[in-house]
Amino acid sequence: MWACYRVYLEAKAPIHIGYGAKLGVVDRTRYYIPAKNVWGALTSLIAKSIMENYSPEAYRIIGKRLNENIKFSYFYPVEYKRANGKIHIQQVFAPWYKKDGLKFGVCKYKKAISLEEFERIFISSFVSTAIDKTSKSAEEGSLHEIEFIRDKIKCETVKPTIFMGYFFVKDTSQKIEVEMHDLGISFTISFTDSIEVNEVKLNEIWVGGERNYGFGKVKILLEKSSNEEVDLFGSGMLVDTAKKRLTISSRSEYMIALSHVNVENLGAKLIRGDIEPLVGREWNERGSGQKISQVAKICITPGSQFVCDKALSIGNFGIWEVV
């Protein structure tokens, strides 16, 4: 029922995934890329590639069609090696709240690292301030610091940061037909080693914020998986692609949240980790991102362990929810 693609995002610039968290003057970043950011980046790129004139309605329709036909995972930075033109993953640095505290690295038989080690490898920041034209000095109250995920890391050698995630494409057709009769636009989205719109390859997308600083550019590479049961990041969390809905199970008695997990009707017996309200920007008649969601989803955060008896599936924007 679903075709699965491993997707690699190779950073060509630093990545800032803001979520409203501040530490003093520091704008914090998430340490991963949520599915909604990837969905939004694809929606924007596809819309721009097929529109002759700007139309907010085109963004809405394309975003809706992507949500209907593709389920996205969250994306996490990885340790990897390249050989014969292929990427070989050693470890996926998703967060994991273990008994001895927060670690990063969910591949079961690979070494996890501490929060401090993860931040040393992947996280940096820069300070900026506005200049008062009259005094030629820093403008009062304008000092701020932006945290970001580095575009290059040093693990044995210096190399680009790569994030790994998954696209699950509906009905294994590997093509999405989109008709927008009112706008006189029709096109086909297809999947090979890249995303193609009317046979034009889209090799790069822009994710996250702080674009005015040049942040967010990533190269995108797809690799098709032939397995009906997908072991997400080698974590022991399994996705069944043969069913109408993408159901999630675990090889052990507990589950690792590899995205946000909606707690509505979840009935979790145990949660080791954290919970947060999830809000974001939505489409309205003025265009994409012009409305703040009015209802917050209360979610278990990525990396948390939990136990529940309910069947889970991957919903819109990669959020796990009760079937």
- Cβ 73 vs Cβ 302: under 8 Å: no
Q: How far apart are CA 300 and CA 277, in angstroms?
A: 9
pTM: 0.90
Q: How far apart are CA 233 and CA 319, in angstroms?
A: 16
Provide mean pLDDT across the span 32-59: 86
Cβ neighbours around 320 below 10 Å, total:
22
**What does the chain come to in residues?**
323
pLDDT band at 126 (very low <50, low <70, confident <90, very high): confident
Question: Token pair for residue 271?
Answer: 């949660």
Non-local CB neighbours of 16 within 8 Å, separated by 6+ positions: 27, 29, 146, 147, 148, 149, 208, 209, 210, 215, 216
Predicted confidence at residue 139, as pLDDT, reads 54
Does pLDDT of 140 surpass 90?
A: no
Strands 281-284 and 320-322: unpaired
Predicted confidence at residue 50, as pLDDT, reads 80
Predicted confidence at residue 306, as pLDDT, reads 93
* More confident site: 211 or 135: 211
Predicted confidence at residue 160, as pLDDT, reads 94
Closest CA to 73 of 139, 166, 160, 137: 166
